Chains A and B, each alone.
Chain A
Amino acid sequence: MTLMALLGDYTLQNVALGALFLGLISGVLGSFAVLRKQSLLGDTLSHAALPGICLGFIVTGARHMGSLLLGALFTGTLAALLVMALTRYSRLKTDAALGIVLSTFFALGVVLLSYIQGTGNAAQGGLDAFLFGQAAATLRSDLWVMAAITAIALILVGLCWKEFKLVCFDPGFASTQGLPVLLLETVLTVMIALAVVVGLQMVGVVLMAAMIIAPAVAARQWSRRLEVMVPLAAVFGMVAGLSGALASTLGRGLATGPLIIIVVSLLVMASLLFAPGRGLVWSWLLRVRQRRELHHQHVLTTLHRLASRHDDHAFYAEQGLLEGVHGTAVRPALKVLAQRGMVTLSTQASRQPRYWQLTLEGQQEAERILMAVEQGGASS
């Protein structure tokens, strides 16, 4: 299939647009959830959407997108408020409250699902697709719903940006600034339920949590300001959504939702590893460099100590002696130090074994290091 034909494909257009909306809203709202240490809230709310979907079906007796999503929003919001109430008024910690609410609502959802399947209502076909999503079934009318929800969420975030930011960072201080903290926290939480509703059709209730958490976590690695993190999370979410949709079309109908999740997980892994400053590879390289530098300093001070013990600043130390102290790793260290002009090899090149001598510069450097160590200050 050529690219043009691909872009002209009606189903793909729908799926791609839906994935874009999903990436956008979950990236933005997920950022706030992650910063409030409520990453798992998305997981609870998406599982809690299942009984809502079933209720929506039972009430209307048909598979209307609108009523199903309304039901999902209802039970999702209910679960969110329940979690907030449990953590606020009971002695349950947040993780326990999230876990209990998740399993209770999901169990209820599965029971309702099996009940509906037992009634033999022909219209129920494919209701269980909401478990893992069924992106290909996305209709134009569904897109309008998703677009409207996304727009509402974005407008709210834009209008209350500084309020949301302060509530996430320091709720106590936010309250002294006159902000209605409880209301703002509730709105942030309920909006997660909105994002979940957008994602139900695409990725389903089981995998939706990843869509909330992953773009935000990846974006956090690359950004130092909320004003960068949130748009970046939206971009990551949209990139994942779009590439998942394309991969699914090219891959002969592989499940779109899980593909989106895989792409976004890859983004997270790459960010955790390679992001400058916060990435694992970055800090590993930094540590290796620091350790090597420290080793060089050790070798240098050993030479200095040997020289002062022999009361001869031009003392020649045998390489084997240094290897006895520092191991064979001393060879590359001496090489680097020689390049920096801190040490020199004995001028009699024929002399075996090799002998090393501190240069004047090396001597000063060693004294500087020792001084810094003695004062307990940084040695670089």
Chain B
Amino acid sequence: MSTDLHEPDLALHVEDLTVSYHAKPVLWDIDFDIPPGVMAAIVGPNGAGKSTLIKSVLGLAPPIAGHVTLFGRPYKAIRKRVGYVPQRSSVDWDFPTTALDVVTMGLYGQLGWCRWPGRRERARAMDALEQVGMQAFAQRQISQLSGGQQQRVFLARALIQNADIYFLDEPMAGVDAPTERAIVNILRTLRDAGKTVIVVHHDLQTVRSYFDWMLILNVRVIAQGPVEEVYTAENLKRAYGGQIALLDSVLASDTGAKS
């Protein structure tokens, strides 16, 4: 088994990954690595394939070519060590269930078939809710939570798994400022505990303050590495191309911060 390990020193190793819906490639020949213990941002313009990249790593979007290893193993072999926070908009929040119940869902994989979650699982779910500051909302119907609260519930559902590597798809999209701060703090705690955190992020302004590693994506890999090396005007221009207005403001604040 251990002889099969491929790049075991990397938290995530992606080689030659190509994914397409119908004829158009969404991701083209992606090669990238993420070392363990970093907080990494995946950035890129709309349609760059950021979410697809995560889904493909997790086996949710089948690739045409390429392979992926996490800690040297294929995803299926270490699924229990991988946590996932999907986009909040990917589910119907009118589903009849409570916040606590949603968090408990993070244990369904470990629980195994034919077993109902019991008191121990509920206690663990309560702990996870407390980590994200949502214990007061445990019995709240999920449709009655605000966007930020729903996002925290999703985060708690991933935390409860106690994984080694976490994938989060736009966790800061459409949440209020306190929630964004709370989420960033939780993610930092995870990283400081040696876990690897990989986040699809849409806000270029905050990349440098939140993350220490980044991948710039636009169907192909534009740049990757430590944020201070990769976050350059040239790289961002290559990725974002036409969206000049957006870039100008970001780069303006960029030079302003440096001078």
A residues adjacent to B (C-beta < 8 A) = 35, 37, 159-163, 165-166, 168-170, 172-179, 220, 223-226, 228-229
Specify which of B97, B108, B141 is in contact with A163 (CB 8 Å cutoff). Answer: B108
Apart from A166-B105, A172-B84, A173-B105, what 19 extra A-B contacts exist at CB < 8 Å? A37-B92, A160-B114, A162-B108, A163-B113, A168-B95, A169-B91, A169-B102, A170-B86, A170-B90, A170-B91, A170-B105, A172-B55, A173-B86, A176-B79, A176-B82, A177-B105, A177-B108, A178-B80, A225-B97
Bound together, the chains give a CA A205 to CA B191 distance in angstroms of: 58
The 3 closest A-B pairs by CB, nearest first: A177-B109, A176-B84, A178-B109
Contact A225 B98 (CB under 8 A): yes
Contact A162 B117 (CB under 8 A): yes
A221 CB to nearest B CB, Å? 10
Bound together, the chains give a CA A179 to CA B109 distance in angstroms of: 7
Which residues of chain A have C-beta atoms less than 8 A from B111's C-beta?
162
Q: Which of A37, A168, A178 counts the most chain B CB atoms within 10 A?
A: A178
Contact A175 B96 (CB under 8 A): no
Bound together, the chains give a CA A35 to CA B95 distance in angstroms of: 7
Contact A169 B97 (CB under 8 A): yes
- Can you spell out 22 A-B residue pairs with CB atoms less than 8 angstroms apart? A35-B95, A37-B92, A160-B113, A162-B111, A162-B117, A163-B108, A165-B97, A165-B105, A169-B91, A169-B92, A170-B91, A172-B84, A172-B90, A174-B108, A176-B58, A176-B59, A176-B79, A224-B96, A225-B97, A225-B98, A226-B96, A226-B97
Q: Which of A165, A169, A173, A223 counts the most chain B CB atoms within 10 A?
A: A173
**Chain B interface bracket (under 10, 10 to 19, 20 to 34, 35 or more):** 20 to 34
Q: Does B245 lie at the interface of the complex (its beta carbon under 8 Å from any beta carbon of A)?
A: no
- Assuming the contacts A176-B82, A176-B84, A224-B141, asked whether A166 and B98 have C-beta atoms less than 8 A apart, the reply is no
Q: Which residues of B58-105 are within 8 A (CB) of A?
A: 58-60, 79-80, 82, 84, 86, 90-92, 95-98, 101-102, 105
Q: Which of B91, B97, B98, B117 counts the most chain A CB atoms within 10 A?
A: B97
Q: Which residues of B139-172 are within 8 A (CB) of A?
A: 141, 157
B161 CB to nearest A CB, Å? 9
Contact B96 A225 (CB under 8 A): yes
Closest residue on chain A to residue B79 by CB atoms: A178
Closest residue on chain A to residue B98 by CB atoms: A225
Which residues of chain B have C-beta atoms less than 8 A from A229's C-beta?
96
Which residues of chain A have C-beta atoms less than 8 A from B97's C-beta?
165, 169, 224-226
Bound together, the chains give a CA A165 to CA B96 distance in angstroms of: 10
Which residues of chain A have C-beta atoms less than 8 A from B117's C-beta?
162
Bound together, the chains give a CA A174 to CA B58 distance in angstroms of: 11
Which residues of chain A have C-beta atoms less than 8 A from B105's C-beta?
162, 165-166, 169-170, 173, 177
A176 CB to nearest B CB, Å? 5
Contact A172 B60 (CB under 8 A): yes
- Assuming the contacts A160-B113, A161-B116, A163-B113, asked whether A172 and B86 have C-beta atoms less than 8 A apart, the reply is yes
B residues adjacent to A (C-beta < 8 A) = 55, 58-60, 79-80, 82, 84, 86, 90-92, 95-98, 101-102, 105-106, 108-109, 111, 113-117, 141, 157
Contact B91 A175 (CB under 8 A): no
Which residues of chain B have C-beta atoms less than 8 A from A170's C-beta?
86, 90-91, 105
Which residues of chain B have C-beta atoms less than 8 A from A178's C-beta?
79-80, 109
Which residues of chain A have C-beta atoms less than 8 A from B60's C-beta?
172, 175-176
Which residues of chain B have C-beta atoms less than 8 A from A220's C-beta?
96
Bound together, the chains give a CA A161 to CA B96 distance in angstroms of: 14
Closest residue on chain A to residue B121 by CB atoms: A162
Closest residue on chain A to residue B87 by CB atoms: A172
Contact A159 B114 (CB under 8 A): yes
A4 CB to nearest B CB, Å? 41
B98 CB to nearest A CB, Å? 6
Which residues of chain B have C-beta atoms less than 8 A from A225's C-beta?
96-98, 101
Closest residue on chain A to residue B117 by CB atoms: A162
A178 CB to nearest B CB, Å? 5
B162 CB to nearest A CB, Å? 14
Which residues of chain A have C-beta atoms less than 8 A from B114's C-beta?
159-160
B155 CB to nearest A CB, Å? 13
Closest residue on chain A to residue B104 by CB atoms: A162
Specify which of A159, A163, A175 is in contact with B59 (CB 8 Å cutoff). Answer: A175
Bound together, the chains give a CA A371 to CA B113 distance in angstroms of: 56
Closest residue on chain B to residue A37 by CB atoms: B92
Bound together, the chains give a CA A52 to CA B148 distance in angstroms of: 50
Which residues of chain A have C-beta atoms less than 8 A from B86's C-beta?
170, 172-173
Bound together, the chains give a CA A176 to CA B113 distance in angstroms of: 15
Which residues of chain B have C-beta atoms less than 8 A from A173's C-beta?
84, 86, 105, 157
Which residues of chain A have C-beta atoms less than 8 A from B98's C-beta?
224-225
Bound together, the chains give a CA A37 to CA B98 distance in angstroms of: 20
Bound together, the chains give a CA A226 to CA B79 distance in angstroms of: 27
Bound together, the chains give a CA A178 to CA B79 distance in angstroms of: 7
Which residues of chain A have C-beta atoms less than 8 A from B84's C-beta?
172-173, 176
Closest residue on chain B to residue A169 by CB atoms: B95
A117 CB to nearest B CB, Å? 45
Which residues of chain B have C-beta atoms less than 8 A from A172's C-beta?
55, 60, 84, 86, 90
Closest residue on chain A to residue B105 by CB atoms: A166
B88 CB to nearest A CB, Å? 11
Which residues of chain B have C-beta atoms less than 8 A from A174's C-beta?
108
